[in-house]
Structure 1
Amino acid sequence: MIGITVAILYQSNHRLALETARSEMTAARENTVENLINVIIPVGQVVETTVDFIKAFPEAITEPRSGAVMASQIKPYSYIYGLFFGLEDQGQFYQVVQVPGGVAEFGPNQSPLPANTKIIYRTIDGPTNDMIETFLYQSSWGTVTGRELINVEYDPRTRPWYEGARKQDEIFVSNFYIFNSTGKPGVTFAKRVSDADGKLLGVVGADLTMDKITNILNDIRIGNEGRVFLLDREDGVIAYSGTRDDATDLKFTEAGDRKIDDPIVERAITQWVKSRETFFDFTGTKDGRRYLASAAPIPELFGISPTLGFIVPEDEFVGVIKETTQNVLQIAAIIIVVTVILIVIMSRMLSRQLNAVALEAEKVGHFDLEGDFQMSSHIYEVSALANAVSNMKVSLKSFGSYVPVDLVKSIVASGHPVEIGGTSRELSIMFTDIEGFTGKTESYAPTILMLELSNYFAAMEKEITANGNGTIDKYIGDAIMAFWNAPTTDPDHTIHACRAALACRHAGRKLNSVSSRSELFPLRTRFGLHCDQVVVGNVGSESRIQYTALGAAVNLASRIEGLNKVYGTRILVSGTMTRKAGENFLFRFVDRVSPVGTTLPVDIFELLGEKDEANSDLSATKEQYDEVSRWNACMTLYRNRNWQESLEAFNALKTQASADKLVSIYMKRCRHFIKSPPPSDWDGVSHIETK
C-alpha cells in the first residue's frame, strides 16, 4: 500500500517538476530579453542623438567640441566601447573610445597605452591624399596623457558597418566580430546621415562590447549544470556557455560557425534546427543523461532577432523527487524500527534520569559546584531526588562563603565527620587594620557602613586569594587575619604573602580614587606579616568549630601590624619573612624591637615593593631604591655609634623621606645618645610598651 502511494506521488511530482522547468525557462527568457533590451536601446538612442546633432551642426563634426559631445553621450554606458562618425566625402573619421578595463595596448600598431588613459579621441583628417591618423590619449576629456600619429591605413567607407548603414534609413546592426583596436568581441550599431537634400554626409556608429551581454547570458543559466546558447538569424552559433560547476563562461564563435566543443550544446542546437519546437528534450550521447531544452527567437529590435536557448539536466528538477521517493520508502521502514526503539528508550528513561542524578551527586562529592542542576521528570520520586541534589549544591555554595573553599573541598572529599584538632605547620600570617577607622565611623549609619566596608573587604579578599590562594581566617571589625600554606600546601607562601600585601595596598589606592564622594574614604590600611610554626586546624566545641591558626607567631604578626602606628609605616614584616623572600622584594630595616607581650627581640622591616620590574603596579620605584640606599648609610653610622654624624645624615634625609615619622624617631634617639651614650653592651633593642 505504501509503495503504491509513493508511486502515485512520484508521477505527480515528476509532472509538476517538468512544468516548473518550463516556467523557469520562460521566465528566464523574458528576463533576458528585458535585460538585452535595456542594453540595446541606449545604444540605438546614442546613435540617433548623434545623428540629430550632426544634422543640426554639420560644421562642428570636424572640431574637438564634437568629441566632447560624443564623450558625454557614451559616458553613462560603460558597455558602449566607442562612438564615431565617418564622412562620405574623403573618408575622414572621428571617434571617441572608452578604454575597457584590462586593455594595455591600442591601435593597429598595438602601442602601449599611457598610464591613466580612460578616453581616446581618434581622428583621421587632413588634406586630400595626405591625411594623418591621430590618437589623443586622455585620462578625462581635456586631460591629455599622450599622443600618437600614424599613417592612414583605415577608410571607414570600406567597413561593413558603413556599407550596411549606407543602404538603409534605419539603424543597421552588424554581425558579431572582433574589434581591430582591442581584440575584443562586439557589434556595431550604425546609421546614415543625410543633408536636407538627401545627400549622404556620412555614417554614425557605436560599438557595443559583448561584456555586458556575456554577463547577462552567464547569469541566466538555470541550476549548476544549466547551459545557454545564442544563434543568429541564419542559425549560426554566436555564443554558448558551459556549466556553473565547470566555471565556464560564455564562448564566442566566428560568424556563422556551427562547430562547438560542447556535445550537449551541439546536440540541442541540432535538434532545435530540425524541429523548431520551443520546448523539447533529448538524451546526451556520451553521459546518457536526460536534458530539458527550450529555444525561441527573441523579439526583433533594430533588425536583431537572435535565438536564445536554455539547456538543463532533468535531474536538476526531478532529481530531488527521485531522492525524496527513495527517502520516503526508507522512512517507512525506519518508522517501524523507530517504534521499537522508542519502546526500549522509554523503558530506559528512568534509569538514565537516575544516572544523571547520581552523576551530579558524585560531582558534589568532589565539591564541583559549577553550574546549576535542573532536571524535570514526570516521575515524582526522581523529581524529588533531583531537587534534593540541587538544594544541596546551593547549600554547599553558601557554606563556602563562610569557610575557606579549600577546607570545604577537603571536608567533602574525605567523607569523614569534622573533628577538633590541628597540626603544626609553618605559615605566613598577615594582619591588616584601617587607620583611624573608629573615629571615621562614629556618625555612620550601620547599614551604609556595612555596605561600604563590604566593598573594601571584597577588594582585599580578591588580592589575598589571587596571590598563592591565601586563606582569610576571619574579619575582626575592620581588620583581616589571613594566612598562607594552609589548608593547601604552598612552598612559596612567604613570597605570596608579601605580594598579596603589596597588591592589597594598590587595590586600596584604586578604591580610594573611585570612592571620593564617600566620607569613609580615603582609607589607609596597615599590614603586619610574620612567618613561623603554628598549630592550624579545627578549634572550638562540638556544636561550633572554626578553622584557624594558633600560636605565638599569630600574636607576633598582630603586634607587628600595630607597630605601623609607632613608626608611621604601611607594611611591616618580620626578619623571618625577609630572609625567606628577600630576593624578590625591596625591604628597609626599621628597628629591632621587643613588642609588648613578647620576650625575644625581633627585627622588623618595611616592605616597599617588588623587585620584578614587569609588575609596574607593585614594583619598587627608583626613588624607593635611592631612599633605601641613603637609609642604610644612615643606619650604618647609627650602629657604629657615630651619633652626631648619623643625626646629620638622618636630618638630610628627612625632607625627602617617605616615612618622616620613622626618621624623626631615629633623630630623637641620636640626640638622646649624644647627651647620654648607651652602655657598651647596648643591643639596640627598642622595648615597645603599647599595642
Structure 2
Amino acid sequence: MSIVGPKLRRVLAGKLFPGARSAGAAKARSNSGEEASSWHPRRVSIRAALAFTFGVVIAVTAAALILALESGRQNTVALVRDRSERIIDTIVERTRLHLDPARDQSEFLARLFRDGDLDPQDEAASLSQLRAALAGIPQVAALAVIRTDLKQLRAERHGDDVVLRKIDMRTVPGLDEAFEMARNAGHPVWGELLWSERLNQPLVNVRTPLWHEGSFLGILLTTVTVSELSRFLAESPAGSDVGAFILLGRNHVVAHAALAHNPQLFKRDNLLPEVTEIGDRVLASIWSPNPETGAAAFVGSSKSHIVTVDRTPYIFIYRDISGYSDQPWMVGRYLPLDELGSEVRRIERAAWLGLAAVLAAVAGAWLVGYAIGRPILRLARATSAIRTLDLTSARPLAGSHLRELDEAIRAYNALIATLHWFETYVPRRLVKQLMAQGEHATALVEREVTVLFTDIVDFTSLAERLSASDAATFLNDHFRLLAACVEAEGGTIDKYIGDSLMAFWGAPELQLDHSARACRAARAIATAIVGDNRRRRGLGLPPARIRIGIHAGPAMVGNIGAPGRINYTLVGDVVNTAQRIEDVAKKCMTDEDEAVILVSDAVLRSAGPECSAQPVGEHILRGRHEATNVFRLEAS
C-alpha cells in the first residue's frame, strides 16, 4: 500500500499542520503539555496585541490632546478672568473719573483761600471764582462756600446757565456739627448723600474745610447729582448694556442706567431706590436665595456669583470701593454667563469632542483587532482540525476584506481541496497512528500481527456481464462495505488487489487482541455481504460471494519501497499463509455459501475462546511441504 515517506510526512507535520514540527512533536505535546509550554513565551492574541498597540498610540494622542486642551483652557480662563477684571476696573475708573475732579477742584479752591489768593470777605470775587470753577467741571451740580458766620455763597447749574446766590444758613440745623467734622478732618471728605429740593434727587457731595490766615473759615461743599453719575456710567463701554451698577449697601442703587432719565424714582423720605424698584429684573434678583458660586474661575480678586433669571444664567461681578460716601459703595456689572464663559465652554466642548474621538479610536482599534483576529482564529481552528486529519470539520472558509488574510484563507481552502484528494489515496487512520507514534513508527520492526485476505468468488464471470463502469461501481461499493468492517475493529487496509483486499492488525498500533479483532471484522464482513446480497436480489442483480482467509504470526512492519514510492506494509510468511488459507476456501465452499471464513490454528490460539470454529482438516498450502490445520469460523 502506498503511504507517505519520512520526508513527506515531515512536510505534513511541519508545514501543513501549524505549530508541529513532526508527528513525534505532536505526540510529545500531547503527552507533556506542561514541559512543551515551558519552552515558549506567553502568547497573546492578535486582537490583544493590536488593542495594546493602538492603545499606546491612542494614550499618547489623548495625553497630548489633554495637555493641549488643558493649556488652552487655562489660557482661556486667564483671558476671561482678565476680561472680567477689566470690566470692573473700567467701571471703577469711570466712577473715579467722574467724581475725583470734583474733589480736586475743591482742593484747588481751598488752597486759594488758604494762600490768600482769594479773600473770603470779597463775596463778588468769591462768587466769580466759584462760577469759573464750575465751568471747568461739568459733572458738578453746585459749588457752595458755607462760612462759619452762617452765610453761603453758592454757584449752581441751571441747565446751561450758572446762577450765583447768597443764602442765609441760620435756619439750617446741624451746621455746627458739620463745621466741627470738617475742621477735625483737615482734608476733603465725601459725606452722606444730601437731598436737593430744586433738583428733586440726592446729591453725592464732598466737603472741604476752608482756612484763611490760620483761621477756620467754613466748608466748601461740592455736589454731583446721582442721575448725572448714572448717565456717565451708562454711557461707558462697560455699562453700555445697562448692566453696570453702583449700590449703597446691598439694596440701594446709587447709579444705574434707569436712574439717568427717571427722576420719579427718587423720593425725599427714601433718597435712593432699592434694587427691586428700578425696573431691572436681573438686578432685582442679585441677592436671590441660593446663588450659584461656580463663577469664581471666571473672575480674579472681585466677588462674583451666578443668578438665573427667566432660565438665563447671569453672572454678577462686583467690588467694594470706599471714600465717596459715609458707607462703602459696591461697584459691579452683570452680564449673561454665556457672554463671559463661551470661550471656556468652547474649550470644554472641544475636550468632549476629543474624548469622543479617543473613544471612537478605541472602538475602531477594537473593531480592527476583531476584524483581523476573528478570521485568523477561524483559520487557526481550521488548521488545527487538519493537524489531526479531521477533514470533515475542516471546511472551506469565507474570504476576508484584508488582502493578506484573504490570500492566507485562499491558500487554506486550496489546501483543503488538496488534502481531500490526499485522503482518497492515503488511509487517514493509519497516518494519524503514525503521527502519534513519531519518527520511529515507520522503522522496520518485528511484530505479532494478524493478516486477513478476501476474494470474490467467480468475479471474472461476474465482471463479464457488467460494463467497465458498472464493474468499477460494484467494486467500490464492495470495498466500502469491507473497509467499514475492518476500520471498525481498528484494522489497517494494506492494499486492494483486483477484487481482493488485504488488511492487518497489530501494527502500527500495538494491539494485543489483534486476532480477535480480525475474527470479529471477518464475521462483520460476512454479515454485511449477506445483507447486501438481499438488496442486490431485490434489484435483480446477481449476489456476490466471498472467501476470507486469516493467519497470525510474526512479520516485519514498516516502510518498504523506493524513494518517491514507499509503502507502510508488512513482510513475512504470515502474509503468504493468509492468502493460501483463503485459496483453501475454494474447496470448502458450497453453492449455498455466501461467505466462508477460514482461519489457521495460530489465529485460534491468539484469539482465545472468543472465536469458535470448526476444523476442516490439515491442508498442504501451495508452496508448502508441511500441513496446516485450517478451521472454518462460524459466521455468527
Query: TM-score normalised to the size of structure 1?
Result: 0.37
Higher RCO (CA < 8 A, seq sep 6+) = 2
Q: What TM-score comes out, normalization by structure 2 length? A: 0.40
